[in-house]
Structures are given as structure tokens and as C-alpha cells.
Amino acid sequence: MARSPKIKTSIHSTGVKPALQGRSKKRRDELIATGMDLLCEKNFSDISIIELTSACGYSVGTFYSRFNDKESFFIATQKAAVSLFITSIEEEFSNPSWNSASSEEIFSTLVNVSVDLLSTNLRGVVRGSIAMAASNPEAWEPIHKCGETLTLTLLELLKDRFIGDAPYRSEDSIKFGMQMLFGTLAQAILNDKVNVRLTSPEMRKNLTNMLIVYTQLKPE
């Protein structure tokens, strides 16, 4: 698994107590990062607070001084993962030079950044969200919102390349292409025994080609 990105955002959520000092924030972020690691291997229901805190070298009291319960901890973990994902994509495409890049370059970079991020412990949050959504559909909502935000980023980047007399065709094709992208990535996270794994070069190549072939834009 690739090196995991550092949590670098403030987390405001019901059940999460404010981290007013640097040491408090550090411990909160270590608990969240460890939770992400554990979620890569286990269902959230199978992770105990004792296991989580022991993995960090902290006491159970350290957990409860920062989170009300396991549910609020999971929500905070989701928020941290989603924020990292969105920030990474937006930072990658913030350079104005992308406005003149080819569609292939844009799709390839989007796929590469997404796969790179999901090859870290962020994968565990998606995996955990999929499992929890089976009994609680609301558990998938933060991941769904993340996908919507990434799709809007791509639509904004490509809007000048929409088909002139039928821009809706370009927009719809991008939205559905992104839906196929997210669905394939989620399946690869959930089932590592598929023919093309998340970590294989073919995954990146096939996803990029799918977006290139399926998306309807002006000829370049």
C-alpha cells in the first residue's frame, strides 16, 4: 500500500471534541489515521476502541477525550478522508495550464491521482463505508458527495470543450463516465481478486481509455 497522506484539515463534526492544542490535534489525527489503517483489513464493527487506542499507544480515555463514541469517530474519519481526496484533486488541477492540456492528459491525471490516493489507507474508509451502507444507506452519503465534487471539478475543467450545439451530451457523458470510474474503483477496493486489481498498471490504463472513448467532446 502506498504511503498514506497526512491529515491536514480541521474536523468539525457532532461528537468530535475540539482539538485546541497541538498535542490534542496530533493524537486525534493519529487515532483517525490508525482507524483508516484498520479499516483496510477489518469491518468497522469488528474494530474495538481498545484495539484502536492500543495500536496508537494511547489509553481508552484518550479516545473518549476526543470522540463521544465509535459512530462519531467513523464520521470524523470519513470527513478527513473525503477532505484529503477532494483537496488533492483540486490542488492537482488548480494550475491554469490544465486549460490547454489535452483531454487524455486530464483523464490520465485524474485516474492516476485517484488510484494513488485509494492505494493509501483512504481505501479503508471507502471499504468501511461500503460495508456500513448495506445496513445504513446514509453511511455512503459522504463518499457520494465526494464523487459529485470531483465530477463538478472535471466538468468545470472541460466546459470549453463541450459539443457546441449539444453541450448536454458532453456533460451527460462525463457524469456517466465518472460514475463508471467510481464504480470500478469501489469494486476493486471491495474485491481484490478481480482480474484487474487496483494496484495493477492495467487498471489505470483501462480507466483512462474508458473516459477517453466514452466522453463526448469537441475534436482536439
For every one of its 220 residues, what pLDDT tens digit does the chain have, with 9 covering 90 and above?
666 666 655 555 566 766 656 677 888 889 999 999 999 989 999 999 999 999 999 999 999 988 999 999 999 999 999 999 999 999 999 999 999 999 999 999 999 999 999 999 999 999 999 999 989 899 999 999 999 999 999 999 999 999 999 999 999 999 999 999 999 999 999 887 667 788 888 999 999 999 999 999 999 8
**Which domains, and CATH codes, for the chain?**
77-214 (1.10.357)
> What local confidence, expressed as pLDDT, does residue 23 receive?
77
> What local confidence, expressed as pLDDT, does residue 55 receive?
94
Q: What is the 3-state secondary structure (H, E, C) of the chain?
A: CCCCCCCCCCCCCCCECCCCCHHHHHHHHHHHHHHHHHHCCCCHHHCCHHHHHHHHCCCHHHHHCCECCHHHHHHHHHHHHHHHHHHHHHHHCCCHHHHHCCHHHHHHHHHHHHHHHHCCCHHHHHHHHHHHHCCCHHHHHHHHHHHHHHHHHHHHHHHHHCCCCCHHHHHHHHHHHHHHHHHHHHHHHHCCCCCCCCCCHHHHHHHHHHHHHHCCCCCC
| Amino acid in position 58 | Y
List the beta bridge partners of residue 67. 16
> What local confidence, expressed as pLDDT, does residue 124 receive?
94
- Backbone φ and ψ for 67, nearest 5 degrees, come out as -135, 145
| Amino acid in position 8 | K
Report residue 26 CA to chain centroid gap: 22
